[in-house]
């Protein structure tokens, strides 16, 4: 919640991403905090520009929060196991996004 009030675009408020600090490359999560800050201020285009992967993660986080909420009031939802290939596919997609955002030709579109 503090991300909504303390702007991560101003240096000194939050630590720098370790992969950017030590390796000089953007990780798949770089810009997520700025994207969440932009979403808290209803700046959809700004959030997309910081990290488009956040928009893929939000439905999953919302679903997990809803499941937790239902379990906490005594109405657990049935859980389903995810096939291993789907987990590997998600992992490969995140890895591909991390590589693509560091390609110089794609950097203007994917870099935070």
* 53-69 tens-digit pLDDT: 999 999 999 999 999 99
Instruction: Write down the pLDDT at residue 15.
Output: 85
Q: How many CA atoms lie within 13 A of 39 on its CB side?
A: 17
Instruction: Write down the pLDDT at residue 77.
Output: 86
> Please, are residues 111 and 70 in contact by the beta-carbon 8 Å criterion?
no
Backbone angles phi, psi at 50, to 5 degrees: -80, -45
Instruction: Write down the pLDDT at residue 79.
Output: 81
Average pLDDT value for the chain: 90
Average pLDDT over residues 44-48: 94
> Please, are residues 65 and 80 in contact by the beta-carbon 8 Å criterion?
no
Instruction: Write down the pLDDT at residue 57.
Output: 92
* 3-17 tens-digit pLDDT: 788 888 888 888 888
Confidence of residue 41 (pLDDT cuts 50, 70, 90): very high
Instruction: Write down the pLDDT at residue 6.
Output: 83
Instruction: Report whether pLDDT(93) > 90.
Output: yes
**Cα 60 from chain centroid?**
11
pTM: 0.80
> Please, are residues 3 and 36 in contact by the beta-carbon 8 Å criterion?
yes
């Amino acid at each position: 919640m503090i991300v909504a009030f303390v702007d991560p675009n101003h240096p000194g408020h939050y630590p720098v991403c370790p992969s950017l600090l030590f390796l000089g490359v953007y990780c798949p999560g770089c810009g997520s905090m700025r994207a969440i800050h932009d979403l808290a201020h209803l700046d959809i285009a700004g959030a997309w520009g910081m990290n488009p992967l956040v928009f893929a993660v939000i439905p999953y986080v919302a679903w997990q929060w809803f499941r937790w909420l239902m379990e906490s009031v005594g109405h657990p939802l049935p859980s389903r196991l995810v096939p291993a290939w789907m987990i590997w596919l998600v992992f490969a997609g995140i890895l591909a996004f991390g590589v693509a955002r560091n390609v110089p030709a794609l950097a203007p579109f994917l870099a935070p």
